[in-house]
Amino acid sequence: MRYRSKAVVTVLCIVAVCALPATATSNFRIGLISPPPSRHEVHDFTQLLEENLASISLSESMLDAYRSRLDMQANIEFLKKQHQLLAEQSKDTADIDRTNTEKDYIPDPELHLIADIGYPESLSEFINELDVQVLDYIARKNNLDVMLLVSSTPFDEFYRTRLFAYTTKTQTLSRLFDRISIPSAQNEFPYEMLLECAHHISDSSYGFLLFSTTVPGSSFFCSAHEHLWSKPAVLISAQEHEIHISAAGYEPVSHNVTIQKNEIRRVTLEQIRVATLPTLLYSTLGLSSFEILPSIDGQLPYIWQEPTYPFTISVEKFGFAPYSAQVHEASPVLQLEPVPLWLTQIQDLAIGAQQEAYASLGRSLLLIGAYVVAKTLPYAFGQASALSAWDPLSTAAGALAGCSLFDTTIKLFDYYRKTQYSSR
């Protein structure tokens, strides 16, 4: 996500609280909306729209606002695709038509409580129609009635903490709490705020578990089978849990921890790098120049004796587009295949090849016509001297027509090849 200069910590708490019997509030399931560290599936989409924005005459502040909104949309789309917004839904829960306002809605008795540290910054400051649409989608997708957003924003030497509530019945977002306070040494006020919300909503006990590790891209799991991805914090039930952490190139680590009611527990997990075998880097295109950031370069094929994962590699070859890839998992063999340059240039794709083929065909027809005219026109004079004078001209026209036909044949085959290639 792209943030402004001031760091913003945002906590998202989603709860279903309406039209429920009092005994049902004790049955909660804990989930987490959390994007994995890699967003390559939406990176190209985001980059393309950013390039379109850059071509528009806008001020820097407007561009930053558009890009912030774009990042938020891309992240939401990624969440919907990767997690379906939550892990499994109850199989007995039927699809409810919320558009029928005359029909009473009874939520699923198994409720959901979700906490997310680092939700899009724009949702905490400038609430607009797009934000309401995103919140409404998440709420209705999970059969929720009320969504609570707790945000803590740096304000000079203080913190401004705000609590918002979104209701699906009225589709409105209201501010319930706004206070400026002195931050604690560990800045735990957002977690305390969320624990207080959970305490008033549910009879169950919760605590916060905060992770700390120096390995980027680590994935966290707990004994409740919740995939925590790379989030540094999780709202978790007050009981004993077994925590698992894994990362490419490191040995998995397990840790038992007991969470007390309203406790904010910090856990530091040490990971040990595993020994990796040499990796063969090669390409079926033959010799190619490559570079492994930050300090390795050479020619393919190349045997990397002590690979360090994850790493980024770029390949360059004449006639091919620059190739770059990020490798996260260890592999004894890595095949690198750059894309031909003509595939990345619109003038050399099927449309460009079609135009060249048609131009060559038209040129060939003109030269054939010139040859026919040069060959037959002297007979209109009926003199031998005229026939002999036009022979060099007709011969030249015939030679040019033959060469043009050969070029047309090549262009037609090239057009057919690129059409088949692009269609596949």
327-342 pLDDT, tens digit each: 777 777 777 877 777 6
- Residue indicated by tokens 């949309």: 73
Task: Please check whether residues 107 and 178 belong to one and the same domain.
Answer: yes
Within a domain: 57: no
Ramachandran bin of 73, using left for φ above 0, alpha for ψ from -120 to 50, beta for the remaining angles: alpha
Task: Please check whether residues 419 and 293 belong to one and the same domain.
Answer: no
- Residue indicated by tokens 């003509």: 342
**pLDDT per residue as tens digits for the range 174-231:** 766 677 766 655 556 666 666 666 665 556 677 777 777 766 667 777 765 454 544 5
Task: Please check whether residues 415 and 350 belong to one and the same domain.
Answer: yes
Task: Please check whether residues 358 and 417 belong to one and the same domain.
Answer: yes
Within a domain: 69: no
Within a domain: 53: no
Task: Give 351's contacts (C-beta < 8 A, 6+ positions apart).
Answer: none
> Which pLDDT score, from 0 to 100, does residue 49 have?
41
| Domain span including residue 353 | 345-423
Q: Are 360 and 408 in contact (CB under 8 A)?
A: yes
Last residue of one domain, picked from the residues 273, 305, 322: 273
**Two structure tokens written together for 321:** 């587009």
Task: Please check whether residues 209 and 199 belong to one and the same domain.
Answer: no
- Find how far residue 239's CA is from the centre of its chain: 35
> Which pLDDT score, from 0 to 100, does residue 54 have?
44
Burial of 139 (0-12, 13-18, 19+ CB in 10 A): buried
Within a domain: 135: yes
- CATH number of the domain residue 230 falls in: 2.60.40.1120
Task: Please check whether residues 91 and 192 belong to one and the same domain.
Answer: yes
**pLDDT per residue as tens digits for the range 284-293:** 777 777 888 7
Task: Please check whether residues 101 and 177 belong to one and the same domain.
Answer: yes
The DSSP bridge pattern shows strands 279-282 and 333-335 to be parallel
Burial of 236 (0-12, 13-18, 19+ CB in 10 A): buried
**pLDDT per residue as tens digits for the range 108-138:** 333 333 344 334 443 444 455 556 776 777 6
Confidence band, pLDDT 50/70/90 cuts, at residue 94: very low
> Which pLDDT score, from 0 to 100, does residue 47 have?
45
Last residue of one domain, picked from the residues 273, 298, 321: 273
Interatomic CA distance for residues 409 and 7, integer angstroms = 63
Q: How many Cα atoms are found within 13 Å in the side-chain-facing hemisphere of 360?
A: 20
Interatomic CA distance for residues 144 and 399, integer angstroms = 79
Task: Please check whether residues 141 and 28 belong to one and the same domain.
Answer: yes
> Which pLDDT score, from 0 to 100, does residue 42 have?
34
Last residue of one domain, picked from the residues 287, 307, 341: 341
Residue 254 has pLDDT above 80, yes or no: yes
**pLDDT per residue as tens digits for the range 61-85:** 555 555 565 555 555 555 544 444 3
Within a domain: 79: no
Around Cβ 145, how many Cβ atoms within 10 Å?
A: 19
Mean pLDDT of the chain: 63
Q: Which residues of 202-215 are buried (b: 16+ CB within 10 A; e: fewer)?
A: bebbbbbbbbebeb
Within a domain: 256: yes
> Which pLDDT score, from 0 to 100, does residue 14 have?
35
Task: Please check whether residues 14 and 99 belong to one and the same domain.
Answer: yes
Within a domain: 313: yes
Task: Please check whether residues 150 and 26 belong to one and the same domain.
Answer: yes
Within a domain: 3: no
Task: Please check whether residues 198 and 299 belong to one and the same domain.
Answer: no
Q: Are 282 and 227 in contact (CB under 8 A)?
A: no
> Which pLDDT score, from 0 to 100, does residue 152 have?
64
Please list the residues that pair with 20 across neighbouring strands: none
DSSP string, 191-238: HHHHHHHHHHH-SS-EEEEEEE-SSTT-EEE-TT--EEET-SEEEEES
> Which pLDDT score, from 0 to 100, does residue 52 have?
43
Interatomic CA distance for residues 329 and 248, integer angstroms = 5
Task: Please check whether residues 99 and 176 belong to one and the same domain.
Answer: yes
How many domains does the chain divide into?
Answer: 4
Q: Are 279 and 332 in contact (CB under 8 A)?
A: yes
